[in-house]
């Protein structure tokens, strides 16, 4: 096995200028990630300089067998923490051969929102808190839980330390460092309230880059759990009962909100979000009704309410924001399996472009 490890870790730059580019895209379920690799003649740092590529969309649920070719457009480049050197990860979106975005390409519509002059002028910042659960591969039961049984009740696990409270830290720390290496603006990690559940945060990131970085961070996590023989779940309520669900809270601000007098802009934005609550909930992730129950630090899915420092609200405003009269707010409604392209662009569209 040591020889295999040596070969996996070969430094290509010692013998060739060629690099390996791993093209990544979102599959047909809207949550599964796919990737494949190709050789390029030399290092590339600009996505527009990368070649387009294609794949068999009939094998990913994204095209019929009789017309299966789907085209990948490179959109963002990250350093490859697995192959290292000059090798890269490439986040792509998918199009028909005629250049039309396929139905599961949510990036295309998001890019239109983020390129709107009014949105560009507001420089929207996002900080996304991605929760997830690590599962034992053979039994689909959280790591650290007795097979067929349950651990002690919630309480000691959130940010907990010790072999009886923290499960999977080696995976989490590997992911943290791999994301930093890749150039993702990962800002922290912590153990969550339910044992076996963790969170990483990406941001602050501007506009569509926040969504690109969440998708690539998810990809890196999937690869690391693959190596570890563990399954990562983004289900918003992986275990029924008195256990916390998994969300993807979205912290958000605009230039106007960050400047003096911004608290009034924040309150107007929250009012707009309240008027479109149903539309947002419909786009905030599948199975979210199992998580947004009004319990376990959530607001009921049918109720919109906001408050300062209230983790049982739909929208939470921090104490510092209230005190300073400017800052940001947190949309606590998105589920852990949300599409960040949809959520980030929808928040910008509602708060900046939409006029009720």
Start and end residues for every CATH 3.30.590.10 domain found in the chain: 117-353
Of 3.40.50.300, 3.40.30.10, 3.30.590.10, 3.40.50.2020, the CATH number of 117-353 is: 3.30.590.10
Whole-number pLDDT of residue 9: 86
Whole-number pLDDT of residue 112: 98
Q: Where are the beta strands (DSSP E) in the chain?
A: 19-26, 33-40, 53-56, 69-79, 88-95, 125-136, 141-142, 186-191, 197-206, 230-233, 248-253, 306-308, 315-317, 329-331
| Dihedral angle, C-alpha 88, 89, 94, 95, nearest 10 ° | -10
Angle between helices 208-228 and 169-182 (to 10 degrees): 140
235-254 pLDDT, tens digit each: 999 999 999 999 999 999 99
pLDDT value at 1 more than 60: no
Helices (H), the chain: 2-8, 107-115, 117-122, 169-182, 208-228, 255-258, 262-275, 277-283, 319-324, 340-348
- Mean pLDDT value across the chain: 96
Residue 264 DSSP SS3 = helix
Residue 224 DSSP SS3 = helix
136-186 pLDDT, tens digit each: 999 999 999 999 899 999 999 999 999 999 999 999 999 999 999 999 999
pLDDT value at 297 more than 90: no
Q: Compare 342 and 356 and report the one with higher pLDDT.
A: 342
Alpha-carbon gap, residue 83 to 85, rounded angstroms: 7
Its CATH class, for the domain covering 2-104, is alpha beta
Task: Look up residue 95 and give its two tokens.
Answer: 């199009």
Start and end residues for every CATH 3.10.20.70 domain found in the chain: 2-104
């Amino acid at each position: 096995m040591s020889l295999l490890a040596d070969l996996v870790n070969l430094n290509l730059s010692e013998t060739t200028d060629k690099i390996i580019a791993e093209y990544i895209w979102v599959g047909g379920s809207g949550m599964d990630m796919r990737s494949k690799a190709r050789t390029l003649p030399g290092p590339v740092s600009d996505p527009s300089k990368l070649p387009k590529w294609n794949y068999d969309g009939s094998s990913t649920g994204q095209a019929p067998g009789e017309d299966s070719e789907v085209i990948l457009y490179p959109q963002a480049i990250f350093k490859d923490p697995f192959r290292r050197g000059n090798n890269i990860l490439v986040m792509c979106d998918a199009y028909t051969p005629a250049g039309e975005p396929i139905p599961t390409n949510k990036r295309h519509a998001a890019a239109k929102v983020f390129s709107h002059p009014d949105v560009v002028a507001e420089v929207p910042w996002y900080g996304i808190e991605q929760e997830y659960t690590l599962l034992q591969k053979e039994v689909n039961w959280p790591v650290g839980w007795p097979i067929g049984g349950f651990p002690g009740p919630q309480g000691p696990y959130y940010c907990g330390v010790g072999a009886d409270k923290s499960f999977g830290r080696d995976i989490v720390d590997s992911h943290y460092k791999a994301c930093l290496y890749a150039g993702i603006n990962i800002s922290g990690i912590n153990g969550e309230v339910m044992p076996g559940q963790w969170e990483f945060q990406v941001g602050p990131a501007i506009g569509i880059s926040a969504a690109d970085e969440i998708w690539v961070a998810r990809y890196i996590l999937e690869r690391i759990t693959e190596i570890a023989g563990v399954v990562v779940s983004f289900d918003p309520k992986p275990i029924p009962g008195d256990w916390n669900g998994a969300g993807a809270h979205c912290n958000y601000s605009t230039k106007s909100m960050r400047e003096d007098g911004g608290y009034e802009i924040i309150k107007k934005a929250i009012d707009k979000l309240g008027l479109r609550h149903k539309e947002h909930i419909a786009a905030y992730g599948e199975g979210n009704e199992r998580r947004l129950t009004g319990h376990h630090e959530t607001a009921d899915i049918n109720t919109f309410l906001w408050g300062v420092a209230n983790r049982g609200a739909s929208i939470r405003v921090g104490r510092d924001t209230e005190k300073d009269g400017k800052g940001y707010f947190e949309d606590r409604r998105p589920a852990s399996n949300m599409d960040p392209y949809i959520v980030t662009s929808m928040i910008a569209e509602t708060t900046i472009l939409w006029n009720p």
